[in-house]
Amino acid sequence: MTIPPPPVPSSPAAVPVAPATSRRGFLRRAAPWALSVVLVAAAWGLIQVQKHEDAPYESFVSSTTVGERAETRNLSVTVTEVHAARSVSDGQRWRAEGTWLVVDFDAAALDDQFGALLATTDLRLGDRTYSATERGDTAKSMVLVTGVPRHGSIAFELPEGALTGPATLVFATEYDTSADGVIEVSVDLDDVPMQNEVELDPVGWAR
Amino acid sequence: MGALMAGTRGWWRRNALALVAVAVLLPATVVGAAWWGWKHAYPDSGMPLWPVTPGVSGTVDLKGATWGPVKAKVITDTTGLDMPAGATLIGVTVEVTPHGDKGPDCYAPELVEQSTGRSWHSVRGELGLSWSTDEPESCVPTLEGEKAEPYQLVLPYVVPEDAEGPFWVDIDPGQAESKFVRFPIDP
Amino acid sequence: MGAECSLPAWRSSARTGERHALRSSLYAVPVGEQQEAEPATPAVADAATRAASEARMAAWARKMTDRVPTGWLISGAGAILLASTAAFGGLADVPKPKPAELHAGEHFIGSELDMSVVSAAVGGEVKGAGVTPDVGEKTVVVVLDVTNEYTAPRTVRAKDTLGGIQLDGIETHRYDVNRVVDGSGASFLQPDVPTRVRIAWTVAGEAVSPGDEIRIMLPDSTRFTGSFVGRGEYWYDVRPGAYVTVTLDEIPSVDEEAP
């Protein structure tokens, strides 16, 4: 319901009132409306430009491809080779069958060796995320040395028929990559030939 | 007009005690809180903030032990060791002499490149050397019922070829009021 | 209203004009108008003017609030609340669905894990089980097929996943999970990868014997995506999802591996 304006004193004759029909009067009355429209439009524009709620927690991504070196906070990674296999072995006593993706890589810390580990080794395929297997003796959670790359292999255990399409490998020195640096390596799994058996490289210095 | 001025002087007189108290307590509170805050953030934080470097003797006394002297050398003959190409092996030894019955504890000693701040930890295992009680890589804990004896830390560091001296060897004994031991070396 | 204004209109508006100038141009007063010397009682005139305009504002406010039909609003809100409560079925607790009763080989999907018990057995010290029974204890081993149906890896030993599997009515002591195919300790379940695991517990010797029927409780929980105050995916409200009744086989003596 509308609320009428507060009461006015009787005989406002002495109070000067700007006549409504003059141009200056019109502008003065239209000004708040115009300002309101501008502010509403600006608010709409601001909402369009704003990032989503989780934006402050996004990782800082350094992207690269197989064979190229990439750097992020305290980490440099070069994926040397990618294999697809129906069975894998770690060169010692462990062997496993299934659908496997084996990734050989070199990794090093950049400035600080304190607690430097390759903590995150993930594979993003479509809407699914896989982590490198803890089975067998692999380079999962490999220790990193400042400036001197270490070489190792990790393996991803995948469901049947998954080795197709574009995929992204994610490497980081922390388990929680919010607001931290990650290295993403893109691989097209259709370009990776399927082998019968692949042996994982032992962990050691990069040659 | 005269009445107004008398009122103001009267106000000061009436509140003299409170004003003196404020004049004393306010700076005292500020100084006290600031001192406590600084103490909490700096010496009590446990973070290694202030290096203690050795004097003429080449040793440092900290946290119940004498650290040093320190010897550092670039080891060129690496036969039998698993060394990568394009890297340099720097061998560092640190004498540790505990003062009391219990030996000091410490974080892994770091080799720090002075010009860039890059740091390294010793990599005995990665070189193919197995763990040895005679060549400890970190401070030796004193077991129950034993007396601490002097020992020597043997620290092999693998650094990239582009790492240039001079370096520091930093040893943080932990909870030493933010002090840590720093030896400058130039192998 | 007029009775209270004993002073000329321009005098009262001069006072109110000071305070309400921003509200309406009707009150705008050119500066300087009120500086006319006021002879006898300026304080009294001020007070009278202020009181008059305050009384006017109060009267106006009362008239406006009288127009708000509070009674109607409260009854209306109450009616809407009752109607909507009736529409969604009332405020009483929804009865929780009873956990399913299953047998070996039947699948149950709980906490987005597709689980199916294969077999269960009891023995003394079982090689490869990952747990060692104390004196007087026995080892119960359950073989389970599990597939993670979620889009990211799950930790095996969490309370909402295999860590929440319990033996109904039997108190367990130690716990371990490993993969049947290579005996490796199971830490993560990758999405869509079927895995056969061996879960082992140590229990009091008198509690179980070969040939007994035990009920294995498989957990269920609800996934929740943290937002606003939290982040990440959580599974909460872990509750029994299914009971699988299995007969305990016997694990042969210590020298042989578990099935």
The string of DSSP codes covering C92-126 is SPPPPPPPEEEETT-EEEETTEEEEEEEEEEESS-
- For position C26, what pLDDT does the model report? 58
Alpha helices in B15-165 (DSSP H): 16-41
- For residue C65, which amino acid is it? T
* Nearest CB neighbour to C193, from listed A7, A129, A157: A157
Residues A173 and A126 in one domain: yes
- For position A19, what pLDDT does the model report? 53
Whole-angstrom Cα distance, residue C81 to residue B167? Answer: 75
Residues A31 and A96 in one domain: no
Whole-angstrom Cα distance, residue A125 to residue A122? Answer: 10
* Nearest CB neighbour to B126, from listed A110, A145, A207: A145
Chains C and A touch (3+ CB pairs under 8 A): yes
Angle (deg, nearest 10), helices B2-14 and B16-41 = 50
- For position B119, what pLDDT does the model report? 95
Angle formed at CA B79 by CA B73 and CA B81, multiple of 5 degrees: 80
Cβ of C151 within 8 Å of Cβ of A129? The answer is yes
A interface residues, C as partner, C-beta within 8 Å: 1, 3, 5-18, 53-54, 57, 94-96, 98, 127-131, 133-136, 156-159, 162, 178
Query: What is the CATH number for A181?
Result: 2.60.40.1240
Residues B123 and B146 in one domain: yes
Residues B15 and B61 in one domain: no
C74 DSSP 8-state letter: H
* Nearest CB neighbour to C13, from listed A9, A98, A135: A9
Residues A170 and A77 in one domain: yes
Separation in Å, CA B174 to CA A164, B154, C26: 51, 20, 76
CB < 8 Å to A204, chain B: 82
B123 DSSP 8-state letter: -
Whole-angstrom Cα distance, residue C200 to residue C122? Answer: 9
Widest CA span in chain C? 119
Contacts of C126-129 with C-beta under 8 Å, sequence gap 24+, read C126/C200, C126/C251, C126/C254, C126/C258, C127/C254, C127/C255, C127/C256, C127/C257, C127/C258, C128/C178, C128/C183, C128/C198, C128/C257, C128/C258, C129/C176, C129/C178, C129/C198, C129/C200, C129/C258
Residue of A57, A128, A170 to mutate, interface with C, max C Cβ within 10 Å: A128
Q: Which three-class secondary structure state does DSSP give residue A205?
A: strand
Cβ of A143 within 8 Å of Cβ of B163? The answer is no
Distance from CA of B133 to the nearest CA of A (A): 23
* Residue segments in chain B with a per-residue pLDDT below the cut of 50: none
C212-220 mean pLDDT: 93
Whether A193 and A84 have beta carbons less than 8 Å apart is answered as: yes
Residues A159 and A107 in one domain: yes
Compute the half-sphere exposure of residue A197: CA atoms within 13 Å on the CB side of its CA.
Answer: 8
Which of A5, A34, A49 is a domain's end point? A49
Whether B123 and B133 have beta carbons less than 8 Å apart is answered as: no
Beta carbons within 8 Å of A154's beta carbon, 6+ residues apart = A102, A103, A105, A121, A132, A133, A138, A139, A140, A200
A138-163 mean pLDDT: 95
pLDDT greater than 90 at residue A207:
no
* Nearest CB neighbour to A10, from listed C9, C25, C181: C9
Q: Which three-class secondary structure state does DSSP give residue A180?
A: coil
Angle formed at CA C175 by CA C173 and CA C180, multiple of 5 degrees: 145
Distance from CA of C18 to the nearest CA of A (A): 13
* Nearest CB neighbour to A6, from listed C9, C12, C60: C60
- Residue C17: pLDDT band (50, 70, 90) is very low
Over the stretch A184-206, which tens digit does the pLDDT of each residue have? Answer: 999 999 999 999 999 999 999 99
CATH classification (class only), C100-250: mainly beta
pLDDT greater than 80 at residue A46:
yes
Whether B153 and B106 have beta carbons less than 8 Å apart is answered as: no
Whether A91 and A153 have beta carbons less than 8 Å apart is answered as: no
Alpha helices in chain A (DSSP H): 23-49
A126-130 mean pLDDT: 94
- Look at residue A123 and tell me if it is in a domain: yes
- For residue C8, which amino acid is it? P
Over the stretch C85-141, which tens digit does the pLDDT of each residue have? Answer: 888 877 777 777 788 899 999 999 999 999 999 999 998 888 888 899 899 899 999
Contacts of A40-49 with C-beta under 8 Å, sequence gap 24+, read none
Residue of A8, A11, A15 to mutate, interface with C, max C Cβ within 10 Å: A15
Instruction: Please state, as a whole number, how many other Cβ atoms lie within 10 Å of the Cβ of residue B93.
Output: 15
Angle (deg, nearest 10), helices C42-67 and C9-20 = 70
C46-71 mean pLDDT: 88
Report how many domains make up chain A.
Answer: 2
- Look at residue A176 and tell me if it is in a domain: yes
B interface residues, A as partner, C-beta within 8 Å: 82-87, 108, 110, 116-121, 123, 126, 158-160, 162-163
Angle formed at CA C177 by CA C171 and CA C178, multiple of 5 degrees: 150
| % of chain C residues with pLDDT over 90 | 43
Chains that touch C (3 or more CB pairs under 8 A): A
Q: Which residue of B has its CA nearest to A147?
A: B160
Chains that touch B (3 or more CB pairs under 8 A): A
A146-175 mean pLDDT: 95
**Among candidate residues A134, A136, A143, A154, the one with its CA nearest the CA of residue A204:** A143
Residues A152 and A127 in one domain: yes
More confident residue, A15 or C206: C206
Domain range summary for chain C, segments of one domain joined by +: 2-87, 100-250
Residues B141 and B121 in one domain: yes
Residues B181 and B91 in one domain: yes
The kind and range of the H/E element at B179 are strand B179-185
C36-42 mean pLDDT: 59
Q: Which domain holds residue A97?
A: 55-205
**Among candidate residues A9, B19, B70, A100, the one with its CA nearest the CA of residue C27:** A9
Whole-angstrom Cα distance, residue C212 to residue C246? Answer: 8
**Among candidate residues A63, A91, A68, the one with its CA nearest the CA of residue A79:** A68
Q: Which domain holds residue B31?
A: 2-41
What's the mean pLDDT when you consider all of chain C?
82
Cβ of A136 within 8 Å of Cβ of C181? The answer is no
Residues A42 and A87 in one domain: no
Strand partners, C127: C257
Cβ of B163 within 8 Å of Cβ of A112? The answer is no
Whole-angstrom Cα distance, residue C237 to residue C223? Answer: 9
More confident residue, A63 or C42: A63
Residues A149 and A119 in one domain: yes
Q: What number is the ipTM of this complex?
A: 0.78
CB < 8 Å to B82, chain A: 204-205
Residues A113 and A32 in one domain: no
Give me C257's structure tokens.
């591996």
Residues B86 and B17 in one domain: no
Cα–chain center distance at C126: 41
Q: Which residue of A has its CA nearest to C65?
A: A3
**Among candidate residues B157, B100, C32, C114, the one with its CA nearest the CA of residue A146:** B157
* Nearest CB neighbour to C184, from listed A8, A12, A135: A135
Cβ of A111 within 8 Å of Cβ of B117? The answer is yes
Compute the half-sphere exposure of residue C249: CA atoms within 13 Å on the CB side of its CA.
Answer: 13
Report how many domains make up chain B.
Answer: 2
Q: How many CB pairs under 8 A join A and C?
A: 91
Whole-angstrom Cα distance, residue A190 to residue A172? Answer: 25
- For position C24, what pLDDT does the model report? 53
- 3-state per-residue secondary structure call for C8-42: CHHHHHHHHHHHHCCCCHHHCCCCCHHHCCCCCCH
Q: Is A145 at the interface with chain B, CB within 8 A?
A: yes
Whole-angstrom Cα distance, residue B116 to residue A111? Answer: 9
pTM of the predicted structure, to 2 decimals: 0.75
Instruction: Please state, as a whole number, how many other Cβ atoms lie within 10 Å of the Cβ of residue B162.
Output: 12
- Look at residue A1 and tell me if it is in a domain: no
Over the stretch A62-105, which tens digit does the pLDDT of each residue have? Answer: 999 999 999 999 999 999 999 999 999 998 889 999 999 999 99
- For position A55, what pLDDT does the model report? 86
Give me B25's structure tokens.
């307590």
Contacts of A30-39 with C-beta under 8 Å, sequence gap 24+, read none
Q: Which three-class secondary structure state does DSSP give residue B88?
A: strand
Whole-angstrom Cα distance, residue B136 to residue A144? Answer: 21
Instruction: Give the CA-trace dihedral at C148, C152, C156, C159, to 10 degrees.
Output: -100
Whether A174 and A147 have beta carbons less than 8 Å apart is answered as: no
